[in-house]
Amino acid sequence: MPAYAQIITHTPEQARQWHEIARSNPGRVARTLVLRPGQSTREGDNQGDIYPAVEAVKAISAIRGADNPAWVNLVNGGIADALCKNVSEMVIFIQTLPNMPQELKDQVTKEMRSPYYAPLEILCNAVRNFQDSPTKTDKKVIAALRKNWSEMMDRIWNEPENTLRPEDSHTLERVVVAQIVVRLLMIDPSFAEFNTSILYEPSDLTVQIIARHWKYSLKDPDIRTTASVLFLLFEPSQMHPRQEAYFRSNRLETKLPQIVSKILVGVSPTARSSKQQQAKALFATFAENLLRSTGRTSADQLDFLMVILDVAKKDAKRGNAELEATKVLLKATPLWNALFRLLKKSAKPGFLNDSDPEKEKEHRLRFMCGVVGLAANVLHGASFAYPSDCEALVRIWANENFFGAIEETIEIFIETPAMTMQLSRLAGLIERFVVAEGSPEIQKLYRSQFPRWRTLGTLIRHDVKKQQINGRPSWPLPNQVAPRDSTFWDHAAWQCFGSLQLQCMDKTLCGKRGCENVGSIACTCKVVTYCSEDCKTKDAKDHQLACGLLGLLEDTVGKKLSNSAAKSGGQTENSQASTTEDGPATAGGAAPEFNELD
């Protein structure tokens, strides 16, 4: 590849001159931009003119609005192609500057943006200024991008240079490719196949580049921009209708596993990393970026994570072990830690700062439901695919305070449809992997996690409230699974959770979580005993949320109803397990019987 140089120094006189030329003689600018060492234009311009010429073009490209005659002239003069070539080939000869102390050279080298950034920024300005129905000028820019795209991406991928450095001066370098792509996906560029045919191609490097930029992102803007464009590749319904139509008619969803592979390569620690190391790096990136992002970006990261897992799961089902991401997720402690820390934090308003409190609450709720749903889906899927690894997963959950985080947030998310179904699945499956099949060690760990009276009390009160409105919960037909928003799940959730809790508790010990003394003072509910008045008082605030209701619920719905829910939950699970692991899930592995409360 022939390299040509940009020398980043020019006089104020040159700057003025090029601002003038950019408007009066666009062809000359285009010819100057691609000059190589020793070459000059017929007007006598040489490489020393590239930098002021680029600066002048940048100023014109930054003018917003449909009518920008100077830009139209530049495009007609061939600027788009010249800029693309510039991205592919230009180098900066900073080290050749005379009389520069080494220390200063090093400093400038560290802070300097990549040689391809300036022309890329101009192209990005142009793309962001595209009209929704592209003009002739817009189409010329698209044609140039299309012609040069793969060379441009090759270069950016192979020479990341300073784009991955942490200094603020490099943040913009990490969003520029993503910004170009996202805009192209959102407008109608007349030929939708530009994005789709290129981005989903095995040889194209765009996705890898954006994934790498996402991995090295440090702040909300670069995290948000990079993740949202990667997310968009999985969600064509969010693209422009024409892009979506192209996506569907070319069955690009079959190429989504390749997109996941590209993302894995993008975040890969080295070029020779194994698939497992890549998946580990992917989840580590999610963990870091979840903790670094603010606002709705955290909730968006979660959506992005879920589409990747969904594709990986479907791919595994087709018999490809390529993307065994789910298996690695079972041991991804940093990610679970980040998710539960944020889940706990999300209990309080302001966690996702948004100027609109309603929107803020909406994003927080989406985040909470996302975490709980993700955990339930992962454990549910793993219980079929990797049952021997499930104990490791539920161990991480206990260690990373999943149950504490649920307790903080359940009152807020419980009303959301399908959440009681997710909690029923979670509790039922945890009971299987801890109580029924777990090692003594995991059982001991889970004893330290319970009781959780606030969680149980919230679940019971939710069911009572639903029954006051809707009457008795509706049962699924024999051998059928209740729909995800069925009131059956409101009833099953506290039974599953209560069953898990009672089986994890040692009833001879004090009922206050964490106290290991023998219990002697019985509570009025006859479910717990306390070692001392002190423990009883300290636990009262949480326990009273469930204590009175345990009896109330028996009075209102009666034992018969409880047992029938328990049987129904257990029965449907068994039939479900042998048929399919998709669709609305069931109450979990163990029949959630709750006789201890009788």
In the complex, which residues of this chain contact Zn ion (CB under 5 A)?
510, 512, 515, 517, 523, 525, 531, 535, 547
Supply the minimum distance, in Å, between the C-beta of residue 450 and Zn ion. Answer: 14
For Zn ion, give the closer residue by CB, 40 or 532: 532
Q: Which residue has the tokens 């609109």?
A: 356
- 472 C-beta neighbours (distance < 10 Å), count: 10
For Zn ion, give the closer residue by CB, 192 or 531: 531
For Zn ion, give the closer residue by CB, 213 or 543: 543
Supply the minimum distance, in Å, between the C-beta of residue 288 and Zn ion. Answer: 39
Give the dihedral sign, CA 326/331/335/337. Answer: positive
Supply the minimum distance, in Å, between the C-beta of residue 526 and Zn ion. Answer: 8
* Cα–Cα separations (whole angstroms), residue 575 to 388, 442, 475: 21, 28, 15
For Zn ion, give the closer residue by CB, 412 or 515: 515
User: DSSP 3-state assignment of 219?
Assistant: coil
For Zn ion, give the closer residue by CB, 456 or 492: 456
Supply the minimum distance, in Å, between the C-beta of residue 548 and Zn ion. Answer: 8
For Zn ion, give the closer residue by CB, 396 or 505: 505
Backbone φ, ψ for residue 529 (5° rounding) = -125, 150
Supply the minimum distance, in Å, between the C-beta of residue 534 and Zn ion. Answer: 7
Maximum alpha-carbon separation in the chain = 100
User: DSSP 3-state assignment of 196?
Assistant: helix
Supply the minimum distance, in Å, between the C-beta of residue 452 and Zn ion. Answer: 14
Encoded tokens for 422: 């997710």
Radius of gyration of the chain (CA): 30
Supply the minimum distance, in Å, between the C-beta of residue 447 and Zn ion. Answer: 14
Supply the minimum distance, in Å, between the C-beta of residue 454 and Zn ion. Answer: 13
* Non-local CB neighbours of 297 within 8 Å, separated by 6+ positions: 220, 223, 224, 227
Closest-CA residue to 300 (of 379, 356, 221): 221
For Zn ion, give the closer residue by CB, 103 or 555: 555
For Zn ion, give the closer residue by CB, 153 or 546: 546
Altogether, the residues listed in the chain come to a count of 598
Supply the minimum distance, in Å, between the C-beta of residue 545 and Zn ion. Answer: 10
* Non-local CB neighbours of 259 within 8 Å, separated by 6+ positions: 199, 200, 207, 233, 234, 311
For Zn ion, give the closer residue by CB, 353 or 595: 595
Closest-CA residue to 330 (of 455, 433, 484, 436): 433
Residue 514, phi-psi category: left (phi > 0), alpha (psi -120 to 50), beta (remainder):
left
- What string of DSSP letters covers 93-108? -GGG-TT--HHHHHHH
